[in-house]
A and B are shown apart, each in its own frame.
Chain A
Amino acid sequence: MEGLPILSLMMLVPLAGALACLFAGANAARWIALGATLVTFVLGVVLWSNYQIGGPQWQFTERAELFAGFSWALGIDGIALMLIMLSVFLMPVCILASWDSVKKRVGEYLAAFLVMETLMIGTFAAQDLFLFYVFFEAGLIPMYLIIGVWGGDNRIYASYKFFLYTLFGSVLMLIAMFWMVAEAGTSDIPTLMQYGFPPAAQTWLWLAFFASFAVKVPMWPFHTWLPDAHVQAPTAGSVILAGVLLKLGGYGFIRFSLPMFPEASAQFAWLVFTLSMIAVVYTSLVALVQSDMKKLIAYSSVAHMAIVTVGLFAFNVQGLEGAMIVMLSHGLVSAALFLCVGVIYDRLHTREIARYGGLAINMPYYALFFLLFTMASIGLPGTSGFVGEFLSLAGIYQTSSLVALVCTTGIILGAAYMLYLYRRVAFGGQVNEDAAAMRDISVREWAMMAPIAASVLWMGVYPESFLAPMRADIAVLDARLAAAAPAGDAALAAGAPRAEAANALPEHASAKEGAH
Chain B
Amino acid sequence: MHTILIIVFAPLVAALIAGLGNRMIGNVAAKSLTTGALLLSAGLSWPIFLGYIGGTETAEVVQVLKWVESGTLTFDWALRVDTLTAIMLVVINSVSALVHLYSWGYMEDDPDQPRFFAYLSLFTFAMLMLVTADNLVQMFFGWEGVGLASYLLIGFWFKKPSAGAAAIKAFVVNRVGDLGFMLGIFGTYLVFQTTSIPEILAEAPAMSGSTITFVGMRLYTMDILCILLFIGAMGKSAQLGLHTWLPDAMEGPTPVSALIHAATMVTAGVFMLCRLSPMFETAPTALMIVTVVGAATCFFAATIGTTQWDIKRVIAYSTCSQLGYMFFAAGVGGYGVAMFHLFTHAFFKALLFLGAGSVIHAMHHEQDMRYYGGLRKAIPFTFYAMLAGTLAITGLGVYHLGVGFAGFWSKDAVLEIAFARGTQISVTAFWLGVVAALLTSFYSWRLMFLTFWGKPRWIESEHIQHSVHKTPAEAGEDTTGGYHPHESPVSMLIPLGVLTIGAVAAGQVFAPKFLDDAAFWAGSIFYNEPLIHAMHAVPYWVKYSALIVMLLGFAGAYTAYIAKPHIPARFVATFPALHNFVYRKWYFDELYDAIFVKPAFWLGRQFWKLGDIGTIDRFGPNGIAWVVDRSAVAAKSIQSGHLNTYALIMLLGLVAAVTFVLL
Q: A: which residues have CB within 8 A of B?
A: 67-70, 130, 133-134, 137-138, 140-141, 144-145, 148-149, 156-157, 159-161, 163-165, 167, 170-171, 174, 177-178, 187, 221, 224-225, 227, 282-283, 285-290, 316-318, 321-322, 358, 360-361, 364, 375, 380-382, 386-387, 390-391, 393-394, 397-398, 401-402, 404-405, 408-409, 411-413, 415-416, 419-420, 423, 426-429, 461-464, 467, 471, 478, 488-498, 500-503, 505-506, 508-516
If A411-B178, A415-B172 touch, whether A401 touches B536 (CB-CB below 8 Å) is: no
Most chain A CB within a 10 A radius of its CB, from B625, B647, B661? B661
Question: Is B635 an interface residue when CB atoms closer than 8 A count as contact?
Answer: no
> Mask for B586-622, Cβ within 8 A of A = 1, else 0?
0000000000000011011101100110001100110
A-facing residues in B604-660 (Cβ within 8 Å): 604-605, 607-608, 611-612, 616-617, 620-621, 624-625, 639, 641, 643, 646-647, 649-650, 653-654, 656-658, 660
Most chain A CB within a 10 A radius of its CB, from B70, B182, B205, B646? B70
Q: Does A510 lie within 8 Å of B183, measured CB to CB?
A: no
Alpha-carbon distance between A175 and B531 when the two chains are bound, in angstroms: 73
23 contacts between A and B (CB under 8 A): A68-B661, A141-B647, A156-B641, A160-B646, A164-B621, A288-B600, A318-B73, A361-B159, A381-B140, A381-B145, A394-B73, A397-B187, A398-B190, A408-B182, A409-B179, A411-B182, A429-B159, A493-B211, A501-B284, A502-B282, A503-B531, A510-B530, A510-B533
Q: Does B653 lie within 8 Å of A137, measured CB to CB?
A: yes
Alpha-carbon distance between A170 and B656 when the two chains are bound, in angstroms: 13
A-facing residues in B311-341 (Cβ within 8 Å): 332-333
The DSSP consensus for interface residues of chain B is helix
* The residue from B141, B213, B536, B607 contacting A490, defined by CB atoms under 8 A apart: B213
Alpha-carbon distance between A347 and B653 when the two chains are bound, in angstroms: 41
Q: How large is the interface on B (under 10, 10 to 19, 20 to 34, 35 or more residues)?
A: 35 or more
CB neighbours (8 Å) of B176 from chain A are 412
Choose the segment among B51-59, B163-171, B554-562 that binds chain A (4+ C-beta atoms closer than 8 Å).
B163-171
Alpha-carbon distance between A68 and B603 when the two chains are bound, in angstroms: 55
Q: Does A164 lie within 8 Å of B211, measured CB to CB?
A: no
- Beyond A391-B68, A401-B187, list 6 extra A-B contacts (CB 8 Å): A165-B621, A282-B607, A391-B70, A412-B176, A490-B212, A497-B206
Q: Does B167 lie within 8 Å of A423, measured CB to CB?
A: yes
Q: Does A286 lie within 8 Å of B71, measured CB to CB?
A: no
If A411-B179, A501-B281, A502-B283 touch, whether A511 touches B332 (CB-CB below 8 Å) is: no
Q: Does B537 lie within 8 Å of A512, measured CB to CB?
A: yes
Alpha-carbon distance between A316 and B71 when the two chains are bound, in angstroms: 9
Ranked nearest first, the 6 interchain pairs of A and B with the lowest CB-CB distance are A503-B333, A317-B71, A495-B209, A397-B186, A285-B604, A289-B604
If A364-B22, A461-B65, A502-B333 touch, whether A160 touches B653 (CB-CB below 8 Å) is: no
Shortest beta-carbon distance, A261 to chain B, in Å? Answer: 21
CB neighbours (8 Å) of A490 from chain B are 187, 190-191, 212-214
Q: Does A503 lie within 8 Å of B209, measured CB to CB?
A: no
CB neighbours (8 Å) of B538 from chain A are 514
CB neighbours (8 Å) of A225 from chain B are 621
Question: Is B399 an interface residue when CB atoms closer than 8 A count as contact?
Answer: yes
Shortest beta-carbon distance, A132 to chain B, in Å? Answer: 11
CB neighbours (8 Å) of A322 from chain B are 70
CB nearest neighbor in A for B515: A516
* The residue from A138, A390, A478 contacting B182, defined by CB atoms under 8 A apart: A390
* The residue from A130, A224, A288, A467 contacting B612, defined by CB atoms under 8 A apart: A224
If A163-B646, A289-B601 touch, whether A282 touches B186 (CB-CB below 8 Å) is: no
Alpha-carbon distance between A315 and B578 when the two chains are bound, in angstroms: 56
Q: Does B183 lie within 8 Å of A404, measured CB to CB?
A: yes
* The residue from B158, B214, B605, B624 contacting A426, defined by CB atoms under 8 A apart: B158
Choose the segment among B378-386, B388-396, B418-426, B465-473 that binds chain A (4+ C-beta atoms closer than 8 Å).
B418-426
CB neighbours (8 Å) of A317 from chain B are 70-71, 73
If A408-B182, A427-B155, A513-B533 touch, whether A401 touches B213 (CB-CB below 8 Å) is: yes
Alpha-carbon distance between A27 and B556 when the two chains are bound, in angstroms: 81
CB neighbours (8 Å) of A177 from chain B are 657
Most chain A CB within a 10 A radius of its CB, from B175, B332, B611? B175
Alpha-carbon distance between A498 and B22 when the two chains are bound, in angstroms: 58
Question: Is B153 an interface residue when CB atoms closer than 8 A count as contact?
Answer: no
CB neighbours (8 Å) of B67 from chain A are 461-464
Q: How many A-B residue pairs have CB under 8 A?
A: 294
If A401-B215, A514-B536, A516-B543 touch, whether A70 touches B70 (CB-CB below 8 Å) is: no
* The residue from A282, A361, A415, A462 contacting B175, defined by CB atoms under 8 A apart: A415
* The residue from B175, B421, B616 contacting A221, defined by CB atoms under 8 A apart: B616
Alpha-carbon distance between A401 and B140 when the two chains are bound, in angstroms: 20
Shortest beta-carbon distance, A418 to chain B, in Å? Answer: 10
Q: B: which residues have CB within 8 A of A?
A: 22, 65-71, 73, 77, 137, 140-141, 144-145, 148, 151, 155, 158-159, 161, 163-165, 167-168, 171-172, 175-176, 178-179, 182-183, 185-187, 189-191, 205-216, 220-221, 280-284, 287, 332-333, 399, 413, 416, 420-423, 515, 528, 530-531, 533-538, 543, 600-601, 603-605, 607-608, 611-612, 616-617, 620-621, 624-625, 639, 641, 643, 646-647, 649-650, 653-654, 656-658, 660-662
CB neighbours (8 Å) of B531 from chain A are 503, 505
Alpha-carbon distance between A417 and B514 when the two chains are bound, in angstroms: 44
Alpha-carbon distance between A165 and B620 when the two chains are bound, in angstroms: 9
Q: Does A286 lie within 8 Å of B604, measured CB to CB?
A: yes
Most chain B CB within a 10 A radius of its CB, from A67, A68, A390? A390
Shortest beta-carbon distance, A474 to chain B, in Å? Answer: 9
Alpha-carbon distance between A462 and B210 when the two chains are bound, in angstroms: 36
Shortest beta-carbon distance, A439 to chain B, in Å? Answer: 15
* The residue from B66, B210, B641 contacting A160, defined by CB atoms under 8 A apart: B641
Q: Does B537 lie within 8 Å of A513, measured CB to CB?
A: yes
CB neighbours (8 Å) of B164 from chain A are 423, 427-428
Shortest beta-carbon distance, A181 to chain B, in Å? Answer: 8
CB neighbours (8 Å) of B601 from chain A are 288-289
Q: Does A160 lie within 8 Å of B332, measured CB to CB?
A: no
Q: Does A144 lie within 8 Å of B643, measured CB to CB?
A: yes
Q: Does B211 lie within 8 Å of A495, measured CB to CB?
A: yes
CB neighbours (8 Å) of B657 from chain A are 130, 133-134, 174, 177
Q: Does B210 lie within 8 Å of A495, measured CB to CB?
A: yes
Most chain B CB within a 10 A radius of its CB, from A144, A506, A514? A514
Shortest beta-carbon distance, A262 to chain B, in Å? Answer: 18
CB neighbours (8 Å) of A404 from chain B are 183, 186
Shortest beta-carbon distance, A268 to chain B, in Å? Answer: 21
CB neighbours (8 Å) of B71 from chain A are 316-318, 321, 478
Shortest beta-carbon distance, A19 to chain B, in Å? Answer: 18
* The residue from A69, A394, A412, A471 contacting B179, defined by CB atoms under 8 A apart: A412
CB neighbours (8 Å) of A419 from chain B are 151, 167-168, 171-172
* The residue from B144, B207, B534 contacting A381, defined by CB atoms under 8 A apart: B144
Alpha-carbon distance between A294 and B20 when the two chains are bound, in angstroms: 28
Q: Does B66 lie within 8 Å of A464, measured CB to CB?
A: yes
CB neighbours (8 Å) of B530 from chain A are 505, 510
CB neighbours (8 Å) of A493 from chain B are 210-212
Alpha-carbon distance between A380 and B165 when the two chains are bound, in angstroms: 20
* The residue from A164, A390, A505 contacting B534, defined by CB atoms under 8 A apart: A505
Q: Does A224 lie within 8 Å of B215, measured CB to CB?
A: no
* The residue from B171, B185, B662 contacting A68, defined by CB atoms under 8 A apart: B662
Q: Does B534 lie within 8 Å of A509, measured CB to CB?
A: yes
Q: Does A511 lie within 8 Å of B534, measured CB to CB?
A: yes
If A134-B654, A508-B422 touch, whether A500 touches B190 (CB-CB below 8 Å) is: no
